[in-house]
Amino acid sequence: MVTLISCLTFLTSLLLGAQGLQYKCADFSSLLVTEAAGVEYSENGSQKSFETILASHGTNLARIRVWTAGDYDVTHALAIAKRAEAAGMSILVDLHYSDTWADPGKQAIPSGWPTDLNGLNTKIYAYTKDVVTSFANQGTPASIIQLLHSAANGARAGSSSVKTMIHLANGWDRSSIATWYKNVLNYQGAFATGDVDIMGFSFYPFYNTDATLSALQSSMSGITSTYKKPFMIVETDWPVQCSGVSMSESSIPISASGQETWVADIRNTISNVPGASPLGICYWEPGWIGNANLGSGCADNLLVSSNGATRSSIKMFSSDM
């Protein structure tokens, strides 16, 4: 029997196929690292820069991580931003506030930074302002900046137009997300609802079988009902090679076509959240040759082959977002 929900999902898919979400995003922060290792990218046998390939398939937002040192410092990020902007993309700056990777289980204070709370808050403000200003001064202003919850004022001091984003892992986990925002917002006046313009979430299929599309819809429904903020899925991937890993949506094939299906299903799911303002989806590191597992247990999650040739799924940005 055809249900009302399935009909609505089908109609949503048709409508979104024509225009899609506002942001069709790729995080290709590793580009300079891969190029330095000799990687070249191509499409239909023609060598092209990776940002040109992405833009030609509809990518209009580049997410760029920024460390306080190392391979992904501000200088590296600014170089990526210049190339992304030249290709016609807007910029989402992802500040890690760390000399290396930062995630929900690891947030090391950068070397040389203060360790007392007052000194650290002052440094975070100044650093955030300086980074935002640096992007603007070179003609690549950040449209969105992903930051610590204590850094919104620094971002807005650097740019009156930049939108602030808080990014949480496990966007499917309604309870954890609701608890985090309940505990953090308005805590002793340090962080208010007005300090966050956009809510960002990761949504991966290979870390937890509970990360289903229905769970994502429930979670986004809850957060939308409570805070009425626009949101984005700012990290996701799907594999073309994977064994020994249980996927959260087992009906989707492990293939390039499966990559498109996964992203299209996310688009349709978040677009069917009542009263929501879903802004976009960001595919994480689609071209990181040499690190194709992207930190997962799946061997390959890229949108390019090991020799840099695009897979059919590269068209997801125009077709499935």
CATH fold for domain 4-319: TIM Barrel (3.20.20)
Rounded-to-integer distance, Cα 83 and Cα 81, Å:
5
Quick check: 9 pLDDT over 70? no
Strand locations in the chain, DSSP E? 23-27, 41-43, 46-48, 61-66, 90-95, 142-146, 163-168, 198-202, 231-236, 278-284
- How many CA atoms, within 13 angstroms, populate the side-chain half-sphere of residue 161? 10
C-alpha–C-alpha distance, residues 223 and 319, integer Å: 27
3-state helix, strand, coil in the chain (%, to 5): 40, 20, 40
Percent share of the chain, pLDDT over 90: 87
**For residue 321, is pLDDT > 70?**
yes
Domain ranges of the chain: 4-319
pLDDT tens for 193-210 read 999 999 999 999 999 999
* Pairwise pLDDT comparison (78 vs 186), residue with the higher score: 78
pTM of this prediction exceeds 0.85: yes
Rounded CA-CA distance 321/319 in Å is 6
Per-residue model confidence (pLDDT) at position 144: 98
Q: Taking Cα atoms as reference points, which of 57, 63, 60, 65 lies closest to residue 89? A: 60
For helices 256-271 and 4-19, give the axis angle rounded to 10 degrees: 110
- Cα separation, 310 vs 54, in Å, equals 10
How large is the average pLDDT for residues 42-63?
98
